[in-house]
Amino acid sequence: MKINKPLAQLLSALWILVFHLWITLTGSVAERYLLTIGYVGVDIFFLLSAYSLADKELSWWPFLKGRLITVYGKYITFIVLALLVNHWSILRAAKAASFVDFFTNGGGSFLWFIPAILILYALYPLFLRWKLPQKGLVVLAGWFILCFACEKLTGYNKIFIFANRIPVFLAGWALKKYRAPKWLPLLCLPIGLVGMYLWGFTAKLNVPFKDFFFLFGGLGAIGISFLTGYIKTGKLVKFLAGGTLELYGLQMVIGPKVVMAIYRLTGSKWVTNLLMILLFTLGSALLAFGYRKLAEAYHKKKTA
């Protein structure tokens, strides 16, 4: 059973976009539930990151260098944009660029998942080359013990929004490596949806440590991601999916300003939501396309 990666990427990005910028239309339980669990988009992203690299031979520095150029480079671009558009101070920008903001404010930090995924990218090649049997279970046990001890002994839990995504990241590796049976990922979906409703929507599960409810989001992400394998898509989805990182960055820098401008212009929540999705999705894809062309031009000039 495989994942339609472009479709899963696009779904995750759109869900995060809606989570942050959607104007509530009805206030119904169903709408509020789907908006509240928009964080599953992040879980899908972490799952895909590990899944797509699980069977590759990764040399630590070449791999990390490539991710720093692409992912961290774009992160710095968005920090500069925030400096210009949102009138950040140099100190705030420096804290974001150095990850001080991430470790201090966790999920409230600027584009928190970029520092988080870069940390995992730095560790993942080492994990893949580790010869220890049952290394996945060892890391999972270490994750639980460290999170529990960290919160109980020090009270620090700022980055648990990241730490509680480590299990779904490991799941991405395991599902690719061990070729899980078709029924296993699909079984995760109803369990995840019910768990998120009970402990991520009506209440927040913060035991045995803070933000533990995100584990149910991970289960939902597994089910949703593997369901995309049954859907065929074309070049348009692939093109739009190429701008998922840009989509995340743009919505956090200029999203609220754009949504309010559209709403003042149209006066319609429905139209505002639709235009918001179209503008950010297409704009991000075009931005990513331009970035790729610049990178290709630079590479050709460098190797000429």
Residue 304 has pLDDT above 90, yes or no: no
pLDDT band at 300 (very low <50, low <70, confident <90, very high): confident
Dist. CA 83–CA 104, nearest whole Å: 20
Give tens-digit pLDDT for 125-165: 999 999 999 999 999 999 999 999 999 999 999 999 999 99
Q: How far apart (Å, rounded) are the C-alpha atoms in residues 85 and 111?
A: 16
Q: Which residue has the tokens 């009270």?
A: 155
Is residue 122 within 8 A of residue 72, CB to CB? The reply is no
pLDDT classification of 296: cutoffs 50, 70, 90: confident
Distances, alpha carbon 107 to alpha carbons 18, 150, 217, 233, in Å? 17, 17, 16, 33
Domains of the chain: which residue ranges? Answer: 5-15+25-234
Locate 303 and state its tokens.
């190797």
Q: Which residues does 249 contact at the CB level (< 8 Å), separation at least 6?
A: 74, 75, 77, 78, 81, 111
Q: Is the pTM of this model over 0.85?
A: yes
pLDDT digits (tens, 9 = 90+) for 6-48: 999 999 999 999 999 999 999 999 999 999 999 999 999 999 9
d(CA 209, CA 128): 28
